[in-house]
């Protein structure tokens, strides 16, 4: 169920995802050419996904695949009640695929999910973007998603401001109205390099529907906590720590001119 929720959340951003299998972690990536579009990355420890796991490749035991999220979701849903699921990288009629073998009620069901193999350079190109340190990192309140959902009818974008001391506000404006909601005593995270300068502040404007989609995603429902990072002129980064040692997810939302 957790894996289906993760894939369903990513599918709403893009059906085309990159699956990177490594010795210790499995990565699901939506990586664009720039930060003008939403990027998303999920990292799950292999022990959280598999009872037994073995991987071998000439690229330091790393395998990269391009796959449709919808195909993976359909196959995993088929095997929700399986006693055992085995996933193998295989070929069918010369087409690379993930062969998913499921045992249910003494019956074996096999599904082949088409994939495209990626080379080392292509895998590296899907890595998370490198950004400057954020101006502000702050834990986002659970009530934020409801506030943002209610604000969507007022404006297409939202201005989010925050301080490292735990204050945050979100504001939307239209021709005849401005709505601003304040949050106090949130957990802020200090940037150690700028600690001597005192309280840090930051703000960014972004598409309100992008933010709402992330906050209302099934990935967030699996979270222990969520942190928002303001990297002015670059992105608003939403970091989601998943429960039950399932790893973490990171969303990079494009920012607009303030």
Residue 196, pLDDT score: 53
Which pTM does this prediction carry? 0.93
The ranges of the chain with pLDDT < 50 are none
Residue 229, pLDDT score: 97
Q: What's the residue count for the chain? A: 258
Among residues 80, 120, 71, 122, the alpha carbon closest in space to that of 99 is found at: 71
Query: How confident is the model over 129-138, as pLDDT tens digits?
Result: 999 999 999 9
Dihedral sign (CA 17, 18, 21, 22): negative
Among residues 15, 7, 20, the alpha carbon closest in space to that of 119 is found at: 20
Residue 108, pLDDT score: 86
Residue 195, pLDDT score: 55
Residue 29, pLDDT score: 98
Strand partners, 111: 100
Residue 53, pLDDT score: 92
Residue 84, pLDDT score: 82
Residue 193, pLDDT score: 57
Show the DSSP H helices in 126-252 as ranges. 144-151, 208-215, 218-221
Answer yes or no: are the C-beta atoms of 169 and 179 closer than 8 Å. Answer: no
Residue 140, pLDDT score: 97
First to last CA, the chain: 39
């Amino acid at each position: 169920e957790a894996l289906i929720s993760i894939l369903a959340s990513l599918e709403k951003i893009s059906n085309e995802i990159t699956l990177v299998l490594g010795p210790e972690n499995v990565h699901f990536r939506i990586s664009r050419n720039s930060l003008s579009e939403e990027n998303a990355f999920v990292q799950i420890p292999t022990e959280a996904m598999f009872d037994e796991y073995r991987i071998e490749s000439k690229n330091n035991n790393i395998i990269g695949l391009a796959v449709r999220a919808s195909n993976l979701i359909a196959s995993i849903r088929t095997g929700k009640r399986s006693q055992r699921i085995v996933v193998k990288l295989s070929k069918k009629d010369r087409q690379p695929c993930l062969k998913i073998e499921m045992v249910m009620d003494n019956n074996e069901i096999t599904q082949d999910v088409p994939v495209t193999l990626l080379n080392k350079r292509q895998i590296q190109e899907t890595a998370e973007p490198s950004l400057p340190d954020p101006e502000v990192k702050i834990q986002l309140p659970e009530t934020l998603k409801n506030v943002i959902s209610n604000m969507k009818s007022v404006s297409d974008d939202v201005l989010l401001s925050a301080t490292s001391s735990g204050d945050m506000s979100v504001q939307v404006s239209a021709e005849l109205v401005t709505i601003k909601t304040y949050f106090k005593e949130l957990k802020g995270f200090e940037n150690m390099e700028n600690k001597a300068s005192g309280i840090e502040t930051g703000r960014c404007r972004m598409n309100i529907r992008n933010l709402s989609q992330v906050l209302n995603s099934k990935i967030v429902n699996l979270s222990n906590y969520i942190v928002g990072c303001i990297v002015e002129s670059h992105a608003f980064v939403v970091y989601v720590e998943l429960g039950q040692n399932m790893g973490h997810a990171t969303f990079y939302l494009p920012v607009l001119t303030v």
